[in-house]
Amino acid sequence: MVVEDAGQTRNVFFEKMVYGGEGLARTEDGVLLVPLVLPGESATVELEERYKGVRRGRLLQLVQPSSDRIAPECPYFARCGGCHYQHVGYERQLEIKQQILGECFERIGKYRLEVPINVLSAGPWHYRNRTRFQIEKDASRFEIGYFELLSHRLCPIEVCPVISPAINEVLRKFSPVVAALFPDGKAEVELFASDSDQEMLATVYSDQTAAPDFGNALRNAIPSIQSVCWVRDSPATKPEEGTIWGSGAIAYHVGEFHYRVGHGSFFQANRFLLKQLISVVAGDLEGKTALDLYAGVGLFTIPLARRFDNVAAVESDRASARDLISNVGPVSARAYELTAEKFLATASRDWEVVVADPPRAGLSKIVTEHLCRLRPRRVVYVSCDPATLARDVAALARGGYGVCSVSLVDQFPQTFHVESVVHMSRL
């Protein structure tokens, strides 16, 4: 719905940050959300249209900047949409995310935490082992980068301070030689680097057909790329159905644990925090039976298999399930290529511990109901969205569970994303 005063300017005061990387100001017309601001700042903003009941604005000028404001590290910040918090120091970023997570429990879940929110963090730069670039090419240009903030316009870049050095090196090598391999039009290329940052996968998504020797030519031009997959980008096409040149996967090591990760498989993106994430999830857990839902390639399954006599891992995505089956082969765990809903529908009450790492949408109502029916003594919820986490924790609390601990694991510094781990015990 278009509001009559869209395009007008207002002077507003921002009282806090909300999930999504925006500052919240209260006006006579209601709540206004604006990116690139900080709590305690006053600014002149341009009002935008109200969309789905939410009004947003665009920062025009700071009237009273916050003392927390700093100069961003990246020359593309505020234009590129990849980062949201580079204008504030890292310690303050963590405080903001901690406040947002706690508020989501109270406002969305109507659940008051009785335990503190622990914070785990590592280096705030060059942490990403995976990124997805946008490509545009025509007869006169080849550009690669990310989408601009809140748009689908390309922001060409030459370097990115949050991706690993090896991925930055590949970005630098997308020279006219590599550019010539791509057809005209738009495409996306996802790069995933190994733990050593020496080997990587490249997955290209395009609505066009690849040249017959595209993958071999790209691997010859950039030797760190071990495997290339070209996916005709349509709703029905999956990476494992694309054309592959190379091994189709790389090995990723996290301490003593080794994982096969192929094209299209999910794997956590912060290369500095994987050990800590496994530790905070597995914690002091041990016993006879454990169930790993939304298991991906088995990041938590393999450590759990060292601690439990009987472990089952459930994953519905075909690419991830393929790697999961390969990864659990050497350990005492069983893998199931099923949805969590289908697996739980016939599950018995034999599981002592359930680990769940669902996608951003969180647990479905059916999964929550099954967990309350199965009544494991411990539920460990790994979340990438504090809003759905708060909703689901509240539902589990109504089903007889209490929160033992909450950990904010800052997987995505410089961005608004909040990764967290909640341990719940049956009351």
- Please give the DSSP secondary-structure letter assigned to residue 211: P
**Helix, strand, coil share (%) of the chain residues, nearest 5:** 20, 35, 40
What are φ and ψ of residue 401, in 5° steps? Answer: -120, 145
Q: Is 400:372 a contact under the CB 8 Å cutoff? A: yes
Element (H, E) at 303: helix 301-305
Please state, in angstroms and as integers, the Cα–Cα distance from residue 148 to each residue in 6, 7, 83, 265, following that order: 22, 20, 10, 26
Q: How many residues comprise the chain?
A: 427
For residue 58, list its beta bridge partners: 46
For residue 42, list its beta bridge partners: 13, 64
Nearest to 269 by CA among 66, 100, 132, 112: 132
Q: Which two tokens mark 112?
A: 């008051």
Beta pairing class for 401-409 and 378-383: unpaired
Which positions are catalytic?
Answer: 384, 419
Cα–Cα distance for residue pair 339/294, rounded to 1 Å: 8
Q: How many CA atoms lie within 13 A of 224 on its CB side?
A: 18
